[in-house]
Each structure stands twice: as C-alpha cells, then as structure tokens.
Structure 1
C-alpha cells in the first residue's frame, strides 16, 4: 500500500508541474499588454513602462515562472492587479461560496442518482428503466446554464420563491445563504446526477451478473435482498470514484453558473480576472483549482486501492 501511495504521489507532483507549465504558457501567449490595458488607450509610454516594472512584467519568462511557482509553494499567490489586494485573500473570500455550492450540488446529485440508478438496474429492460435512462440522457444533453436560466425564470421571476441571483453572505444567516445557493446547486446537480445514475445502473447490472449473486438468489434471497445485502456494496466502488471526480468538477467548473446567478465565487473571480487581464489572479486561481482536482483524484485512488487490494499489485 505504501509503495502504491508513493507512486501515486510522484504522479501527483509530476501532474502539478506539467499543469503549472501549461497554465503559465497559455496565460503568457494571450495577446495584449496588461499594463496598457489597465491604464487605458491614452496612457503615456513611460507610465506604462513604470507599471510594467511594478508588476514584474519585464523579467524573463523563466524567472517569472519560477517566482510564481515559488510564491505559491510559500502560500504567496501574488498581488491582484485590479483589486490591489493579495490573491490569497480574494481566494479565501470566494472559497466560502464555491466550496458550499459544490458540496450542496454533490449531495443533491448523490441523493438523486444512486436510488434512481438502483431502480433502473433492478427493473432492467422494463418501462421504468427506459424512462429513467431517457430522462438521464436528456439531463446530460441539456446545458446546465440553460437549465439555470429556466430555474430563474420559473422559481424567481414567476413564483418568487427564490432570488434571481446574488449572495447575502454567511453573516446574514445560514438559511438565507443556503436559499441563495439552492437554485445554483440544483442547476449543477441535475446534469451530474444524470451521469451518476447511468454509472450506478451499469455498475449494478454488472454486479448482478456475478456468480455469488446467483448463488445468493439460489439460497432463497429475493432480488431486493440480494441487491441490498451483496450487490449494492460492490457496485458502489466505481460509483464512489465518480463521486470524487464530480466534486472536483463542481468546484472547478461552476464558472458559468456563478455568472448566471451573480455569485461571488472562484468561478466568477476567474471570469473577472480574464476580462480585466488580471494575470496573477487567473494563473493563481486556475492553478489552485487544478491542485484541488489532482488532490481529490489522488485521494480517490488511495481509497479505491484500499477497498480493492488487487489495484495495488497491478503494474
């Protein structure tokens, strides 16, 4: 187990290095001068040059890359060009919106998908199975931002049950904050629930075809008892893997939803950094999200190996 964990840790470090190189290279090839963009079209050349020097844009690319990576290792993400505050402070503020939103969406997705997937697998080939899988396919095909706008139109504009956007802050109370996150969480959760339901159904159908399930049925267990006592436990191993990966996606992939609902989260911070050419914010936040995705994937791999010892011995 330790050898497997060490190998996965080395892979994690290599992935982080590769991701940092790609992110830095992509940000650097974006056309336009950030200093000129911040000062406007009528700025004097010497003023632009002074701002470039202040922002550290005159250094060589290797020096700037090493300085950026070294700062992140020390916990220093740099100073935002636009907000003139440390990026770490911006991330800490926005994380209290994005993290609860991702957790709430993941909880809703799991609570919907697992029972639905089990019902579809238990009624394989019947009307219920076809209906559930048809709805799941529709949920995968429909863009989440279109669904988000539909939720706003129905529940905010027509019924006035929820606000159309914004976030009151946790200091306003847990209930108002969770109410503001409800529609965005549903918009994020339903497409992920459709994917997870299909995975649950496939894993459970494969498990139900194993010999030990047939043996359990031959000993007198009903189909429901065989699923609850034996099949579901083994079928949940790949399902848990997908759930871990979905949390990473929900944390890093809510940019459009946060903009639809005007939520001050990490996704909206990235969007604002791109539009304002705030390279330090974009580089640091994207790298932080990549780090979160890779770490969650690493933890899922370790948990998967702990549950299935055969993975530790595979080359």
Structure 2
C-alpha cells in the first residue's frame, strides 16, 4: 500500500508539472498585452515598454516560467498586474467564499443523492423508482444558472427569505454567511445530486445482481439486510469517483453561479482577471484548481482501498 501511494504521488507530481507548463504556455499565447491594456489605447510606446520591464514581461519565457514555479513552491504567487497586491492575498480572500460554497453544495448533493439512489435501487421499476428517476432526469436537464434565477425569484424576491446576492463576510457571523451561500449552494447541488443519485442507483442495481448478494439472500438475509450489509459498500467505487469529480467541478465551475449571486469567489476573480489581462492571477488560480483536482483524485484513490479491500490485495 505504501509503494502504491508513493507511485501515485509521483504520478500526481508529474501531472502538476505538465499542467503548469500547459497553463503557462496557453496564457502566453492569449491575445493582448497586459502592459498595453493597463496603459490604454493612446499610451506612449516608451511608457508601455517601461511598464513591461517593471512587470517582468520583457524577460525570456523560460526564465519567467521558472521564476513563477519557484515562487509558487515558496508560497509566492507573484503580484497582480491590475490590483498591485500579492496574488496570494487575492486568492486567500476569494477562496474563503468558493471553498465553503463548494463544500456546502457537495454536502447537500450527497445528502440528497445517497438516500434517493438507495431508495430507487431498493424499489426497482416501482412507482417510487420511476418518480425519482424522472425528477433526476429533470435535474440533469435544467441548467444550474436558470435554476439559480428561479431560486432568486421565489425565495429572495417573492418570499424574501434570503438575499438576492452578495456575501456579508464571515465577520458578520457564520450563520449569516451560510445563509447567503444557501441559494447558490442549492443551485449548484441539485444538478449534481441528480447525476450522483442516478449513478448510485445504477451501481447498486449491478451489485445486487452479483452472486455474493444472492448467496447472502440464500443464507436467510432479507433484501434490505443484503443491500445495506453487503451490496452498498461494494457499490461505492463508481460513486466515490463521481463525488471526487463533482468536488473539482463545483470548485472550478462555479463562475456562472458566482456571477448570478454576485459572490466574490475564485470564479469571478478568474473572469475579471481574464478581462483585464491579469495573466499572473489567471495562471495562479488555474494551477491551484488543478492542484485541488489532483489532490481530490489522490484522496479518492485512498478511499477506493478503504471501501474495497480487494483493491489493496491486487496492488500488493
């Protein structure tokens, strides 16, 4: 198991290295000069050249890449071209919104999907199963930004239970901050819960058809006992994969929801940085998101081994 983990860590490190090269090169070929954008259309070429030198944009590409990588390894993500503050401060302020929102949405998605998937699988082709699959199909089909607008219309404008947008900050109190994240979290969670519930149902039905489940039933266990005691744990492997992917998607893909609710998260930060050609912010945020995806993948691999001891024996 230790050897397997070391191999996975090496593989993930190489993935991060390759991703950093791709991210840097892609941002290098994006049209638009950050210095010219900051100075304006009628700026003097000499002033633009001076600003490029001040920002380090006149240095060779390889040198700037190495400087960026070494700085990140030391915790220095560089300085924003636009805000003239360290990128780490910008990211720290924004991730304090995006990360709780992601965890909130993932918790809601899991709490909804697991009981729904198990209930549907335990009543295959019954009215309850058909109803849940119909609702989940609707949840997959509806775009989350449209659902977010409906939530704002109903709960913020009509009922006035929640605010229509904005984030008061954690200084205002945990409950107040969580209340402002509730509608965005629901808008993000319901489509993901629909996907996860369908995967849970499909995986559990496949497991219930296995020989070891039929053997357990033949020994006298009820269908419910066989499902909870034997089938559920073996059906978790594909479900864990989807949960890991959903965490990465919710963290990196909440830009539309953050704009709908005016949340100062990472998604809006990347959107603003792209529009302002603040490439150092774009690179740093994207590589942090890549690291989050890689780290979650590693944790999912560990969860595989915990959920299914057969995987540990195969690796050994």
User: Which residue matches 1:235?
Assistant: 235
Could you tell me how far apart the structure 2 residues matched to 1:232 and 1:135 are?
22
Query: 1:27-67: per-residue Cα shift (whole Å, max 9, x none)?
Result: 11111111110111121111111110011110111111111
Q: Residue by residue, what CA displacement relative to the aligned partner does 1:5-34 show, whole Å, maximum 9, x if unpaired?
A: 121111101111111111111111111111
Query: Shift of the alpha carbon at 1:126?
Result: 2.0
> What are the equivalent positions in structure 2 for 1:90-101 lying under 5 Å apart?
90-101=90-101
What is the alpha-carbon distance in structure 1 between the residues aligned to residue 150 and residue 195 of structure 2?
Answer: 20
Partner secondary structure for residue 220 of structure 1: coil
TM-score (ref. length: structure 2) = 0.96
Q: Which moved more, 1:95-104 or 1:305-314?
A: 305-314
TM-score, with normalisation over the residues of structure 1? 0.96
User: 2:315 and 2:227 mapped to 1: Cα distance?
Assistant: 29
8 Å contact from structure 2 (residues 120, 129) kept in 1: yes
**1:269 Cα deviation (Å)?**
0.8
Q: Return the alpha-carbon distance in structure 2 between the equivalents of residues 161 and 214 of structure 1.
A: 50
Instruction: Tell me whether 1:156 sits opposite 2:156 in the alignment.
Output: yes
Number of positions where the alignment pairs a residue of Structure 1 with one of Structure 2:
315
- How do residues 1-315 of structure 1 correspond to structure 2 at under 5 angstroms? 1-312=1-312, 313=314
The 10-residue stretch of structure 1 (134-143 or 106-115) with the greater mean CA deviation from structure 2: 134-143
Q: CA deviation at 1:80?
A: 0.6
Counterparts of 1:170 and 1:102, CA distance in 2: 16
Aligned CA RMSD, in angstroms, stands at: 1.5
CA distance in 2, matches of 1:26, 1:153: 39
Change (3 A) 1:186 1:232: same
Q: Please state how far the C-alpha of 1:136 moved relative to its aligned partner.
A: 1.2
Describe the superposition over 1:176-207 as per-residue Cα deviations: whole angstroms up to 9, x where unpaired: 10110000000110011011101110111011
Using the alignment, how far apart are the partners of 1:122 and 1:21 within structure 2? 48
| Deviation of the 1:218 alpha carbon | 2.3
Q: How far has the Cα of 1:228 moved from its partner?
A: 2.0
* Alpha carbons 2:233, 2:307 under 8 Å: kept: no
| Superposition deviation, residue 243 in structure 1 | 1.5
SS of match in other structure, 1:81 = coil
Deviations 1:62-119 (A, max 9, x none): 1111111111111100001111110001111111111110111011000000000011
Query: How far did 1:314 drift?
Result: 5.7
Distance apart, 1:212 and its partner CA: 2.3
